[in-house]
Structure formats: C-alpha cells, structure tokens
C-alpha cells in the first residue's frame, strides 16, 4: 500500500512537472534597457516567440496603383447607392473594393457583402456594417493621429483576412449567481483569461473603455477623501485594464511606466501619452461606430448580454507594440485617410 501511494505520488509529480514545463517559456530571454539606468525599465523578450510574432504580423503587399479614369463615382450613372466613397475616381473605387475583399472576406469574396444580382442593394447586413467601418477607418486615420500618427490603419489592421476580427470583446456579466448576500461577485473572483487567469476584475473594459471613465486610482492628497478616493475594487479594475494593455502590446508595464511611481507622468515614457490617446480613441470608436450598429447585427453575432462586439487594444495591436510592426499601409490607400462626407 505504502509503495503504491509512493508510486502514484511519483507519477503525479512527474506529470505535474511536465505540465508546468509546457506552460513555461524556455530561457534564455533577451532584455533591452528602455529607461534610465537602475530603475528596472527593461523590455524582456523571448527571441523564439518573437520570430513567430514577426511572421504573424506582416502587412500584405499593396495592390498596384491604377490609372485614374477622370470620372468620380458620384458623377457616374453606373453607381446608385454610394454614400461614403462618392468622391473617389471610379478606378480607385474598384481597386478599393478588391482590397477590402482581400482584407475582410478573401474566401467568401464580393458576395460576403453584396447581393450578386444588384450591387447597389443594401439587404445584406455585412454591407451596412462595412459602410460604417469605412467611416470609422477614415475617422481613426484623420481624427486620431495623436495615436495612429501617419501610420494609420486599414481594414486589415483589425480583420487580417477574417470577417470577424480575432480580438473583440463583449460585456461580461459573469455566470449566474445565488441570490441574497451572495448575489454579487463585484465582477471578480472568476479566473479570467483577460487578466492572465487571475481573479481580478474579469471585465475591465465596460467600465474603463468608456467616455468619462476614471482609470486613476493613486491618491492625489495626503489624506484621500471625496472624489479622489478609489476603492480596492476600483484599483483592481485599473490593474486589470493595465494587464490588458501589456498583453495586447506584448510589453511590460515599464514600456509606459516607471514602476517607482505608476501615476507620475513626468517619470513615464512618451509611449504612455500615446496609450492615453489610444484609450480615448477606443472608447469613441466603440460608442460612435460599433454601438450604433446594435440593430444591424444578427443575433448570432451579439454577446451573451445582447451587446455588439467591440474593440480593445488587442484588436489592432495583436501582441505587438505597433500593429504590423508599424507598417504604414494607408499610404497606399489614401482614400481611407479622407474626411467623411
């Protein structure tokens, strides 16, 4: 009996060790100093993972430029229902239709958005969504340059050849709970992937990627009181969002902060300011463009609480500090950098 138990123990121990090793990243790691000396501001990367990321984040070759026809879509009798792209040259318009097919629905083709009998028809919801996406992409590229700079974004930045981008989020209200005193989990204590399988707040996006949200939790007075006071729960929600920022960009906290004093802007890297604009861009994109499509998406595209899919940092960044390592795709599709009509 004693031997049997010891034997089971050894097998269990070995299996556990193997399981743990599978979730480890094998050394050696590479580290790069990115801040002042002696404050631990280093980026730690695994060169083997890096190669995989590099491969997964390559921008496609742009389509060759076309010879303009001199006729604008809005002046051509061949087009009946063009509401956003009317100012484009007909040739440029056709080139763009080919490009968005490659970026969003390469397998399904034009008919993912179009009724093949009548291209002007808006009966497929995907076309209505795509029109809003055109407006959204233009708004990001023209109104959010403090974040996207001249690099900008195209449909490919988020979609990568998939109709539904790989990284989206829905409101998460947790699983059903008993009533009475136990009726609220305060949005915590369910191990969640969003926060690296810890039990921190599992949906930091709904409260903090919203207009007017307060992410700041550090007291600004010696004796915190009134509106400057943050609860432990608020603090945990802020940390949960910060874990998302780090994983979405594939960086450490010190990519933006000097961890000696997280709140201090003077000691932060300039990237933190870019990130601040990013947070505001994301909340605007979600509120103005995605939430307004609430009645358009079919039921199977909605989340468990019936809300539409939304964007966070990972939707564009996909594990990299600049989406597609900073490849500037928009310069080959300037029509996505025009103001909306």
Q: How far is the CB of 180 from ligand HEC (least distance, A)?
A: 34
31-36: long-range contacts at Cβ-Cβ below 8 A with a sequence spacing of 24 or more? 34/254, 34/255, 34/269, 35/254, 35/258, 35/269, 36/258
Smaller CB separation from ligand HEC, 114 or 337: 114
Cα torsion 341, 295, 312, 50: sign: negative
Q: How far is the CB of 219 from ligand HEC (least distance, A)?
A: 8
Structure tokens given for 63: 């389509």
Q: How far is the CB of 190 from ligand HEC (least distance, A)?
A: 20
Smaller CB separation from ligand HEC, 9 or 98: 98
What gap in Å lies between CA 41 and CA 49, rounded to an integer? 21
What gap in Å lies between CA 133 and CA 127, rounded to an integer? 10
Q: How far is the CB of 28 from ligand HEC (least distance, A)?
A: 23
Q: How far is the CB of 317 from ligand HEC (least distance, A)?
A: 6
Smaller CB separation from ligand HEC, 12 or 149: 149
Q: Identify whether the C-beta of residue 330 lies closer than 8 Å to the C-beta of residue 141.
A: yes
**Cβ-proximal residues to 151 (8 Å cutoff; 6+ apart), any chain:** 322, 326, 327, 328, 330
Q: How far is the CB of 19 from ligand HEC (least distance, A)?
A: 25
Smaller CB separation from ligand HEC, 49 or 293: 293
Q: Report the candidate in 200, 169, 154, 163 with the shortest Cα–Cα distance to residue 302.
A: 169
Q: How far is the CB of 296 from ligand HEC (least distance, A)?
A: 9
Smaller CB separation from ligand HEC, 19 or 222: 222
- CA angle, 199 then 46 then 316, to 5°: 65
Q: Report the candidate in 66, 63, 91 with the shortest Cα–Cα distance to residue 79.
A: 91
Smaller CB separation from ligand HEC, 7 or 265: 265
Q: Identify whether the C-beta of residue 169 lies closer than 8 Å to the C-beta of residue 309.
A: yes
| Unique residue bearing structure tokens 């594939």 | 250
**Cβ-proximal residues to 249 (8 Å cutoff; 6+ apart), any chain:** 255, 313, 317, 319, 320, 321
Provide φ and ψ at 84, rounded to 5°. Answer: -110, -40
Q: How far is the CB of 85 from ligand HEC (least distance, A)?
A: 4
Structure tokens given for 114: 């179009």
The dihedral formed by the CA atoms of 5, 6, 7 and 8, expressed in degrees to the nearest 10: 50
Smaller CB separation from ligand HEC, 187 or 285: 285
> Distance between the two ends of the chain, CA-based, in angstroms?
81
Q: How far is the CB of 39 from ligand HEC (least distance, A)?
A: 15
Smaller CB separation from ligand HEC, 17 or 228: 228
Smaller CB separation from ligand HEC, 201 or 315: 315
């Amino acid at each position: 009996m004693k031997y049997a138990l010891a034997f089971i123990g050894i097998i269990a121990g070995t299996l556990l060790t193997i399981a743990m090793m599978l979730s480890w990243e094998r050394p050696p790691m590479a580290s790069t100093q990115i801040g002042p000396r002696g404050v631990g501001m280093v980026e730690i990367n695994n060169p083997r993972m890096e190669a995989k990321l590099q491969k997964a984040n390559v921008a496609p070759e742009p389509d060759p430029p076309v010879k303009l026809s001199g006729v604008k879509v809005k002046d051509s009798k061949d087009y009946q229902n063009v509401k956003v792209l009317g100012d484009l040259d007909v040739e440029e318009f056709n080139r763009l239709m080919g490009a968005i097919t490659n970026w969003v629905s390469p397998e399904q083709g034009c008919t993912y958005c179009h009724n093949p009998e009548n291209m002007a028809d808006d009966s497929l919801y995907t076309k209505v969504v795509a029109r809003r996406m055109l407006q959204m992409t233009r708004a990001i590229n023209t109104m959010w340059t403090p974040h996207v700079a001249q690099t900008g974004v195209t449909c490919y930045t988020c979609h990568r050849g998939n109709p539904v981008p790989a990284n989206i989020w829905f409101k998460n209200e947790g699983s059903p709970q008993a009533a009475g005193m136990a009726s609220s989990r305060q949005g915590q204590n369910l191990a969640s992937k969003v926060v690296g399988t810890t039990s921190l707040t599992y949906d930091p996006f709904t409260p903090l990627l919203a207009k007017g949200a307060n992410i700041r939790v550090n007291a600004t007075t010696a004796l915190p009181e009134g509106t400057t006071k943050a609860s432990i729960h608020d603090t945990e929600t802020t940390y949960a969002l910060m874990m998302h920022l780090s994983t979405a960009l594939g960086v450490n906290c010190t990519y933006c902060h000097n961890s000696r004093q997280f709140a201090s802007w003077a000691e932060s890297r300039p990237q933190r300011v870019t990130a601040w604009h990013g947070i505001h861009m994301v909340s605007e994109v979600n509120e103005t463009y995605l939430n307004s499509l609430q009645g358009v998406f079919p039921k199977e595209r909605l989340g468990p609480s019936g809300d539409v899919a939304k964007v966070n940092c990972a939707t564009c960044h996909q594990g990299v500090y600049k989406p597609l390592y900073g490849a500037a795709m928009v310069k080959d599709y300037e029509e996505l950098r025009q103001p909306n009509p």
